[in-house]
Amino acid sequence: MKKYSLIDQMRRAVVSITSNIAEGFGRNTALEKARFYSISSGSLYELQNQLIIAKDVGYISEAQLEQTLELTVVVNKLINGLTKKVSDRIHAS
């Protein structure tokens, strides 16, 4: 695997995470918001997998992997909070 290819995939995943959160904020219905937050969550899992691959092929150290994965856990909790908020609105309707 070429390093630049993995880095490019990781950049796209990060942009997808933040872009889908932003797009979700801009949507009017709770269902639309939930859809974009779900896509964002999927992109986060994709990034976590790519980080593990980066460690496995020697691009980052175990310490860098652990530190970065801890940050992704924080982001996952934030996305889950957004998702729960809109889910509560969907079920209240």
pLDDT of residue 92: 86
Q: Report, as an integer, the average pLDDT of 1-10.
A: 85
pTM as predicted? 0.90
pLDDT at 1 over 70: no
Torsion, CA 29, CA 32, CA 37, CA 42, rounded to 10: 170
Mind listing the pLDDT tens digit for each residue in 49-69? 999 999 999 999 999 999 999
**Of 6-10, 22-26, 28-32, 88-92, minimum mean pLDDT range:** 88-92
Domains, the chain, in order of start with CATH, read 3-92 (1.20.1440.60)
Whole-number Å distance between alpha carbons of 35 and 52: 26
Whole-number Å distance between alpha carbons of 24 and 18: 10
pLDDT at 4 over 80: no
- Give the tokens for residue 60: 């980052």
Whole-number Å distance between alpha carbons of 8 and 76: 21
